[in-house]
Amino acid sequence: MATHTLQDYQSSHWTGVAEAYQHGIDTGQATFETTVPDEAVWAGKFIPGLCRVATDASGLVSGWAGAVASSDRCAYAGVAEISVYVSAHARGQGVGRTLLNDLIARSEAAGIWTLQAGIFPENTASIALHIRCGFRLVGRREAIGQLAGVWRDVHAFERRSQVVGC
């Protein structure tokens, strides 16, 4: 398994981050998005300190993970929705697990007690990753959105912190 360095997202990572996101879009199993958003829009939505990038020994972006607030209501201040994307060239190297475990630890340090993830049922690799990292299936959102004209279900996963909150 290759070694990857984790660091906070910087604008210099954008090209590699956008490529990893595009790789996810191209699978048709990772997101309802059909195009990579503008960097400013993309980067501006993440909770400070909770957008991380993995790079390999040559500095090439291998993947990214980030957390966004699930709501602006104060009652949900400790709840975040996460995303994890691994570049096509780095799949199967443990990058996703490294990023997700790092994001979990950092989110708990930031006072977040619940992480949520929405995953297409067909994305079995992502489902397995989330379960390995302590997430549990809490429901299915049936025909919640369309992708390429097809209504898609999304499985709802969550992970409750053992150190923050209730």
pLDDT 10s digit of each residue in the chain, 166 long?
Answer: 568 899 999 999 999 999 999 999 999 999 999 999 999 999 999 999 999 999 999 999 999 999 999 988 988 889 999 999 999 999 999 999 999 999 999 999 999 999 999 999 999 999 999 999 999 999 999 999 999 999 999 999 999 998 887 6
Does residue 166 sit within a domain?
Answer: no
Does residue 49 sit within a domain?
Answer: yes
Task: List the CATH number of the domain containing 56.
Answer: 3.40.630.30
Give the pLDDT score at 166: 61
In sequence order, the 6+-apart residues with CB closer than 8 A to the CB of 4 are 54, 55, 56, 62, 63, 90, 93, 94, 95, 98
Q: Could you give the number of structural domains in the chain?
A: 1
Does residue 70 sit within a domain?
Answer: yes
Structural domain range at position 108:
5-160
